Amino acid sequence: MRVSAIGCGHLGIPHAAAMAEIGHEVIGVDLDQPKIDRLNAGECPIYEEGLPELLATHTATGRLRFTTNLAEAADFADIHFLAVGTPIDADGRSYDTGQVFGAARALAPHLTRPCVIIGKSTVTVGTTRDLTTLLARLAPAGTDVEVVWNPEFLREGHAIEDTLRPDRIVAGVPSPHAEDVVRQVYAPLLHNQIPLFVTDPATAELIKGAANAYLGMKISFINGVADMCAAAGADVHQLTEAIGLDPRIGRGGLNAGPGYGGGCLPKDVRAFTASAQSLGALDAAALLRAAEQVNESRATAALALIEQTLGRPVAGARVTVWGASFKAGTDDVRESPALAVAALMHQRGATVTVHNPHAVPTALVRHPELDYAEDLEESVKGTELIVLATEWPQFRDANPKALSTLVEQPVLVDLRNLLNADTWRTAGWTVRQLGRPAQP
């Protein structure tokens, strides 16, 4: 099939590459000309495992190409995936769906035949309905446009795997014909037993919001319980393992840490809270707001643990933060908890050096006030304390004995409970882990 992917970001590029991988002819569209030039040259503008190889393979065969020209995409494709951004609105709570409606407005006049638009971006409930009305007004006569909502659940750092082998595909369809198109475009995945959940568009839009709101609540819950463990001298890691064995709770996504971040969870929890409020679901809104409040307090909670470990306020201290991306496996630093902790320590007068595989250039744009080190060893030279804030395997595999010769004092706070603390303690380090006793 001939498909377009409109919006080439963290979602759109992996989606375009995955659609080519399952046999479609794909054209990716973005407004950003330099990004399109890099993509057409087979270069990958984001860090994502496995993506450069897929891009290189499919741009070389010509099955995948990129353009800034929506007229070309309208002429080429019968299915248009919408993968543009939906950042948080100026009010800080609801989605700004300007890119979604802007892309539809720009595409409509170029349509020459009936097509299906498959929205993948995360949107407010009611967006499919409003988009359908807009397109009915703007599309030329004889070019019926059906709009499906097919929310995306991929995790950055696992984008290719999650696109080619998702847990489920959700499609909110307006008609049996639209459902048929969804079944055809995803046929290779459906043959691999990936479940397709077909519903109406409003339910599909809410499924995405509810899934991320629930994940945010789960993380805030365990972070709140980590505070209880710290106060009681108990161990949140063991507690998590034990409660996670109950299938009604589940172990996945239940890791205490410096809070949730990234381009999705924080805004999705905020926007779902606002939706709950505007739909009059006040209990749901109160529950979600509490999850947000817990998340917003995490940098301060991390600072308290850091200062307790250091034995004094961080003002004047030389501190190293391992981690800038919001999680491992990506260079995305949007709403990164690691950078929130680093920035807070800087504000309090510490000299902060940040090290992160792959994300230093993106972090530098957002936090030019911090120092950066490209190299792990370089980052710890003369430091008084290391804060491990993102769960990169490179940090787990670091050599404590070798590093202890580089630091001013061997002290580390592990906000991800990533390290084998015994190994580090044996190598002479003082290690504190979040929600766990100072000494086991």
Comparing CB distances to ligand NAD, the nearer of 170 and 339 is 170
User: One symbol per residue from 55 to 94: x for binding ligand NAD (CB under 6 A), - otherwise; what is it?
Assistant: ----------------------------xxxx--------
Order of strands, edge to edge, in the sheet holding 145-149? 64-67, 25-29, 2-6, 79-82, 115-119, 145-149, 169-172, 196-199
Comparing CB distances to ligand NAD, the nearer of 56 and 106 is 106
Dihedral sign from CA coordinates of 100, 102, 103, 107: positive
> Rule CB under 6 A: is residue 4 a binding residue for ligand NAD?
no
Order of strands, edge to edge, in the sheet holding 318-322? 371-372, 351-355, 318-322, 385-388, 411-414, 430-433
Comparing CB distances to ligand NAD, the nearer of 121 and 433 is 121
Q: Binding residue for ligand NAD (CB under 6 A) from 6, 27, 182, 305?
A: 6
> Rule CB under 6 A: is residue 316 a binding residue for ligand NAD?
no
Contact criterion met (CB below 8 Å) for 104 and 117: yes
- Pairwise CA distance, residues 398 & 151, whole Å: 38
The least CB distance from residue 195 to ligand NAD, in Å, is 18
Residue recorded with tokens 């539809």 = 104
DSSP per position, 357-372? TTTHHHHHHH-TTSEE
- Pairwise CA distance, residues 192 & 74, whole Å: 30
Count Cβ atoms below 10 Å from residue 61 Cβ, excluding itself.
9
The least CB distance from residue 19 to ligand NAD, in Å, is 15
Comparing CB distances to ligand NAD, the nearer of 335 and 384 is 335
Comparing CB distances to ligand NAD, the nearer of 83 and 206 is 83
User: One symbol per residue from 144 to 173: x for binding ligand NAD (CB under 6 A), - otherwise; what is it?
Assistant: --------x-x-x-----------------
Q: Binding residue for ligand NAD (CB under 6 A) from 18, 26, 29, 306?
A: 29
Indicate if 44 belongs to the active site. Answer: no
Amino acid at 80: H
> Rule CB under 6 A: is residue 119 a binding residue for ligand NAD?
no
> Rule CB under 6 A: is residue 134 a binding residue for ligand NAD?
no
Comparing CB distances to ligand NAD, the nearer of 227 and 268 is 268
Site for ligand NAD in 253-292 (CB under 6 A): 263-264
Stretch that binds ligand NAD, among 24-32, 249-257, 337-345, 368-376 (CB under 6 A): 24-32
Residue 26, beta-bridge partner list: 3, 64
Comparing CB distances to ligand NAD, the nearer of 198 and 211 is 211
The one-character DSSP state at 83 is -
Enclosing H/E stretch for 207: helix 201-232
> Rule CB under 6 A: is residue 30 a binding residue for ligand NAD?
yes
Q: Binding residue for ligand NAD (CB under 6 A) from 94, 121, 127, 390?
A: 121
Chain centre distance of CA 328: 10
> Rule CB under 6 A: is residue 204 a binding residue for ligand NAD?
no
Tokens representing 383? 């430091």
Residue 411 phi/psi, 5° resolution? Answer: -130, 135
Contact criterion met (CB below 8 Å) for 26 and 5: yes
# of chain residues touching ligand NAD (CB under 6 A) = 26
Residue number of the CB closest to ligand NAD reads 9
290: three-class secondary structure by DSSP: helix
Among 8, 44, 115, 264, which one carries the catalytic annotation?
Answer: 264
Q: Which positions lie near ligand NAD, rule CB under 6 A? A: 6-12, 29-32, 83-86, 99, 102-103, 106, 121-122, 152, 154, 156, 263-264
- Please list the active-site residues: 264
